[in-house]
Amino acid sequence: MSRLSADILRTDPRVREARRLLAGAVGDVQARITGIRAPDPALSVQASEAVQRWGELRGAPLALPYLGSGVGRGPFVELADGSVKYDMIGGIGVHFLGHGHPLVLQAGLDAALEDMAMQGNLQQTSLALSFAEELLGLANARGAGLDHVFFTTSGAMANENALKLAFHRHRPADRILAFEGGFAGRTLALAWVTDRPAYREGLPPTVAVDYVPFFEPTDPRGSTDRARAALRAHLDRYPGRHAAMVFELVQGERGGFPGDGEFFRVLMAELRDSGVAVMVDEVQTFGRTLAPFAFQHYGLDDLVDLVTVGKMTLVCATLFREAYRPPTGLLSQTFTGATASFRVGLAVLRVLRESDLFGPDGGNARVHLRLAERFEQMECRMPGGIRGPYGIGAMVAFTPFDGSATAARAVVRRLFEAGVVAFTAGHAPCRVRFLVPTPVVSYADLDAVADRVEAVIAQGPPGEGEVPP
């Protein structure tokens, strides 16, 4: 039987031995990472200069003084200043398997043995096919009719591609519907879908967007009625002009605002009746709610036309129904993703499929519950210090002090110094959020993180000048 050279290479005893040695070397340095560690004074100055210098070169200071050393273990990450911190944000939701996971090392070594660092639309290996089958398998597990998937390199580009498919199918429609407070990315078109005027200051209008109010948990009935009425008014004002409505089912960048199944169903049904595509942006929600896709969590499988994923999948993707199949030339880019991204992303998809992450008693729910218990205790002990938690599953947020940007930024800074990497989200209120690497955290880790939050809040609201403007 003929064998591919690639298979001969992968099973070469020297390669096997090299893998064993590399795994051993990585394991040895990981064994040094046993918990949070303060910066090493011998490294701090150089690391701080590197952070300053990089901020200067990129033309904007880094949001956190974070430069990784390249080594980590589970929820722990070692930084260039020698400190070790709990990483509760994972580069805003990218590293769901934490740091230095054995599957990531294996995937990286597999990728290193291949002839191409990048996969693209013209030249690719069968990794693209495996990834497509795995992702579509997860997406259609409960009956959604998503037939196709197109890969790209960012969540924003996956959304751009979805919008193109919607505009093309519903041509000559020229408008989009989106939720108030939603986030969809930062391209010239998405700067208008994203409802944050500050993020499009000085940018020309590219796409006309009509906004619909989001779900309000304190008034489910009223907020559903208001959203439906707003949607109807937009559809009536511009008949036949809307190509799609963008659904961010849990508003992550706004600070962890979950929606509601019935609320979404009412709007999606209205859109379907009006011939407008239902596009669900799962760039942040994918893998983090109580089902692999948030549209499954909310039971909307029968209503979705276009779905986008990114972040933890590493390879970003637009999934779509047959009716949205593109003509030649509408979608294409040089790159679909790095070979290592395909391999690591595949490992993530398998973890999602095989681990106990979902359902009311799954890992994501347990993470949320554990932190919720701790935050509720803190709220009782320190009223006015903390409110929350908000979000769902592995998306966890809290409002510190008065909910001002200054308060949230100060708490993020203090947490960083105390050994926990978190980030801000939203405005009015501005929150602190975690995107928890569920597969690699224990209750002990969550408790240790909560202890740091408590200590930081106990310091009281930020003083004058604590956070730079």
Ligand X SMILES: Cc1ncc(COP(=O)(O)O)c(C=O)c1O
Distance, in Å, from the CA atom of 431 to the CA atom of 70, rounded to the nearest integer, reads 29
Among 41-49, 77-85, 280-288, 416-424, the segment contacting ligand X (CB under 6 A): 280-288
3-state secondary structure the chain: CCCCHHHHHHHCHHHHHHHHHHHHHHHHHHCCCCCCECCCHHHHHHHHHHHHHHHHHHCCCCCCCCCEEEEEEECEEEECCCCEEEECCHHHHCCCCCECCHHHHHHHHHHHCCCCCEEECCCCCCHHHHHHHHHHHHHCCCCCCCCEEEEECCHHHHHHHHHHHHHHHCCCCCEEEEECCCCCCCCCCHHHHCCCHHHHCCCCCCCEEEEECCCCCCCHHHHHHHHHHHHHHHHHHCCCCEEEEEECCEECCCCCEECCHHHHHHHHHHHHHCCCEEEEEECCCCCCCCCCCHHHHCCCHHHCCEEEECHHHCCEEEEECHHHCCCCCCCCCCEEEEHHHHHHHHHHHHHHHHCCCCCCCCHHHHHHHHHHHHHHHHHHHCCCCEEEEEEECCEEEEEECCCCHHHHHHHHHHHHHHCEECEEECCCCCEEEEECCHHHCCHHHHHHHHHHHHHHHHCCCCCCCCCCC
Do 245 and 271 touch, CB atoms closer than 8 A?
yes
Count interface residues toward ligand X (CB under 6 A): 15
Among 79, 279, 283, 331, binds ligand X (CB under 6 A): 283
Per-residue mark of binding to ligand X, 389-428 (x: CB under 6 A): ----------------------------------------
Q: Which of 248, 301, 305, 445 binds ligand X (CB under 6 A)?
A: 248
Name which position in 39, 98, 155, 426 contacts ligand X (CB under 6 A): 155
Cβ of residue 251: shortest distance to ligand X, in angstroms? 8
CB-wise, 74 or 185, nearer to ligand X?
A: 185
Q: Which is nearer to ligand X, 243 or 309 (CB)?
A: 309
* 189 near ligand X (CB under 6 A): no
Cβ contacts of 143 within 8 Å, gap of 6 or more: 301, 302
Residues in the chain: 469
**CB of residue 384 to ligand X, shortest distance in Å:** 30
Among residues 314 and 420, whose Cβ is nearest to ligand X?
A: 314
Binding mask 65-94 for ligand X (x = CB under 6 A): ---------------------------x--
Stretch touching ligand X by CB under 6 A, among 34-42, 216-224, 245-253, 342-350: 245-253
Q: How far is CA 338 from CA 58, 74, 91, 341, in A?
A: 23, 23, 18, 5
* Stretch of 148-156, 226-234, 289-297, 432-440 lying at the interface with ligand X (CB under 6 A): 148-156
Tell me whether residue 97 or residue 184 sits nearer to ligand X (CB atom). 184
Query: 59 or 465, CB closer to ligand X?
Result: 59
Instruction: Scan residues 165-184 and list those touching ligand X (CB under 6 A).
Output: 183-184
Span of 279-287, 324-332, 355-363, 369-377 interacting with ligand X by CB under 6 A: 279-287
In this chain, which residue has its C-beta nearest to ligand X?
155
CB of residue 257 to ligand X, shortest distance in Å = 12
- Selected from 195, 210, 253, 305, the binder of ligand X by CB under 6 A is 253
Q: Which of 44, 106, 154, 206 binds ligand X (CB under 6 A)?
A: 154
- Closer by beta carbon to ligand X, 238 or else 335: 335
When binding is defined by CB under 6 A, the residue of 39, 185, 259, 439 that contacts ligand X is 185
Nearer to ligand X by Cβ, of 80 and 89: the residue is: 89
Sheet holding 76-79, edge to edge: 68-73, 76-79, 84-87, 420-421
Nearer to ligand X, 31 or 60 (CB): 60
Q: Which is nearer to ligand X, 284 or 289 (CB)?
A: 284
Q: Which of 281, 301, 305, 445 is the binder for ligand X (CB under 6 A)? A: 281
Least gap, CB of 35 to ligand X (angstroms): 30
Nearer to ligand X, 9 or 62 (CB): 62
Q: How far apart are CA 129 and CA 295, in angstroms?
A: 24
- At its nearest, how many Å lie between ligand X and the CB of residue 243? 18
Residues at the site binding ligand X, with contacts judged by CB under 6 A: 92, 154-156, 159, 183-185, 248, 252-253, 281, 283-284, 310
